[in-house]
Structure 1
Amino acid sequence: MNDGLDFAFDFDLDELAPADAASEEAAERFWSGDLTALSQHRTTPNGSHSFVVAHDRSATWGVPGAPQVVAIAVARDLSQFTFTLETSYHATVPFAQNWLVERGCPPERIAQVGDGYVKPADDLTLQVEQQIRESGTRYEVLDAYTSDSDPCETWALARDSRAGQAPVRVFLEEWDYDADTYTMREGAFADVGAARCWLDDRSGPLPEPPEYRNHDGAVGRARVARIALARSAGASVAPKAGLDSPRTPPAGPVQRPVQGRLL
């Protein structure tokens, strides 16, 4: 993993010209020193496509709560010596990975995250992340928020098109920096209003989705066991950047990247 992404080097764009104005603007938008690669994949044999999930540390100084994880997709036309570049910001790494998978990146390739990052705390976290990463267009993200100071967490509010009951979902990532781990949990609500009320007051535990339970009302641990067997497929980093209001600049260099960032 590279600590910063240099487009000219990592993506071999120095010999290529942007194919359109949008790609030119996207390539110029980032300063490489602001980006930390969390996960990346380049196709073989000719390397025509690159897929990257990165943390944009400059977002820390932007709008409080704004997403800090960026998904980057590069396609090169080697016959025309041009490239196209698309970017999309997300609250968490799995949603960024999902965006790249929808653009042709193999999920098992972009799921691999390098060493030196906050790690998933348990198998349920891996399960929920894989569910998001491979969900296709199942989730419509309605809102998100990132906080890199107390509480250190990121949440995404989404509508689940496959849910028969409680279709509004909250995906909550919480970081434990003392343990260098994070958890990801999914909560289910009847509507957006109920989800926002829970996010505002946290008066009780995050309500589990109905599909987590079997006919006896017990949590379906078989799903978790399957995820444990799939650990070799790679675990996401917890990409959480903080959206806190107001945002206070850190006194010194940040040593640990939030959610899936550097430790």
Structure 2
Amino acid sequence: MNDRFDFAFDFNLDELAPADAASEEAVERFWSGDLTALPQHHTTPNGSHSFVVAHDQSATWGIPGAPQVMAIAAARDLNRFTYTLETSHHATVSFAQNWLVERGCPPEKIAKTHGGYLKPADDLTVWVERQIRESGARYEVLDNHTSDSDPCETWTLTRDASAAQAPVRLFHEEWDHAAGTYTMREGAFADVGAARAWLDDRSGPLPEPPEYSDHDGAVVRARIALIALARSAGAPATPKASLDATRTRLAGPVQRPVKGRLL
């Protein structure tokens, strides 16, 4: 097999030709030597699609703040003996997963990260990540930044098409390598300037989205509670339909998510 694809997964492109100029350019630029596969899904048997999230170590030596997570989507047309290949860089795994879901990957197939990657520190992190992963085109990414030295964090600045209030949303991820965990929090701002001001001074907690405390707050609390139950039992995350069906039962006594200041 072409050594450009010689890593923890196999795209099976040996006998195929690129279907378009973009795919030909993508394969020429593709270098697997710096990539570590994280979640991935390949359709079987003899499937036509591969979806992979990978950590791109080469980004650490490039432009400061550049995203280090790569999403890769390969589609093979076995009748025409061609393939398409797309890649996209993201600050966090959850936004890379969202990009793959938008290209046809079932969200539950790309949700679990294997290997030595850091684990979510709490149930709110799991909930925020799932919200991103399954959000479709809801979040328009405006900017992002990755820091793998002090502070070890990423942030992704977005515009939320579904937000009635404070439509600029900041997703802030912080890593604790000593504990082997990370946290993800969502902050809400009236405009981009306010979000950038918070990033510059960090003088207060990350502003909590209004829906965490309004009439939708019960839904948020119910979903986080069900995630906690699933994680404690070692079971898969509860599907969205089940979450919606049980939100009323769980909404009352469950504690609100904490404010977003990262620890």
TM-score range, shorter chain: 0.7 to 0.9
Query: Aligned partners of 1:107, 1:220: CA distance in 2, in Å?
Result: 20
In structure 1, the residue matched to 2:108 is: 108
Query: Aligned partners of 2:166, 2:196: CA distance in 1, in Å?
Result: 14
Residue 25 and residue 221 in structure 1: after superposition, are their counterparts in 2 closer, same or farther (change >3 A)?
same
Flag the structure with higher helix content.
Answer: 2
Q: Which runs of 5+ in 1 are unaligned?
A: 235-263
Query: Aligned partners of 2:8, 2:147: CA distance in 1, in Å?
Result: 32
Q: Are residues 1:124 and 2:87 paired?
A: no
Q: Residues 83-94 of structure 1 correspond to what in structure 2 (within 5 A)?
A: 83-94=83-94
Larger radius of gyration: 2
Q: Residues 45-194 of structure 1 correspond to what in structure 2 (within 5 A)?
A: 45-194=45-194
Q: State TM-score, norm by structure 2.
A: 0.83
Query: Aligned partners of 1:226, 1:140: CA distance in 2, in Å?
Result: 28
Give a deviation string over 1:179-209, Cα, whole Å, max 9, x none: 0100000000011000000000001000110
SS in 1 for 2:44: coil
- For the 8 Å contact 1:167–1:190, the answer to whether it is kept is yes
- For the 8 Å contact 2:8–2:37, the answer to whether it is kept is no
Identity %: 80
Query: Aligned partners of 1:179, 1:7: CA distance in 2, in Å?
Result: 28
Query: Aligned partners of 1:45, 1:38: CA distance in 2, in Å?
Result: 21
> Bigger shift: 106-115 or 124-133?
106-115
Q: Which runs of 5+ in 2 are unaligned?
A: 238-263
> Bigger shift: 60-69 or 25-34?
25-34
Query: Aligned partners of 2:201, 2:219: CA distance in 1, in Å?
Result: 25
Query: Shift in Å at residue 222 of structure 1?
Result: 2.0
In structure 1, the residue matched to 2:208 is: 208
Give a deviation string over 1:199-253, Cα, whole Å, max 9, x none: 00001000110111146x999532311223455446xxxxxxxxxxxxxxxxxxx
Residue 24 and residue 174 in structure 1: after superposition, are their counterparts in 2 closer, same or farther (change >3 A)?
same
Query: Aligned partners of 2:228, 2:220: CA distance in 1, in Å?
Result: 14
Query: Aligned partners of 1:182, 1:153: CA distance in 2, in Å?
Result: 9
Q: State TM-score, norm by structure 1.
A: 0.83
- For the 8 Å contact 2:169–2:188, the answer to whether it is kept is yes
Query: Shift in Å at residue 117 of structure 1?
Result: 1.3
- For the 8 Å contact 1:213–1:219, the answer to whether it is kept is no
Residue 9 and residue 97 in structure 1: after superposition, are their counterparts in 2 closer, same or farther (change >3 A)?
closer
- For the 8 Å contact 1:111–1:233, the answer to whether it is kept is no
In structure 2, the residue matched to 1:198 is: 198
Letter in 2 for 1:182: Y
Letter in 2 for 1:175: W
Query: Shift in Å at residue 123 of structure 1?
Result: 0.3
Letter in 2 for 1:116: G
Residue 29 and residue 105 in structure 1: after superposition, are their counterparts in 2 closer, same or farther (change >3 A)?
same
SS in 2 for 1:185: strand
Query: Aligned partners of 1:146, 1:180: CA distance in 2, in Å?
Result: 18
Aligned residues: 231
Letter in 1 for 2:201: D
Residue 171 and residue 24 in structure 1: after superposition, are their counterparts in 2 closer, same or farther (change >3 A)?
same
Give a deviation string over 1:118-155, Cα, whole Å, max 9, x none: 10000000000000000000000100000000000000
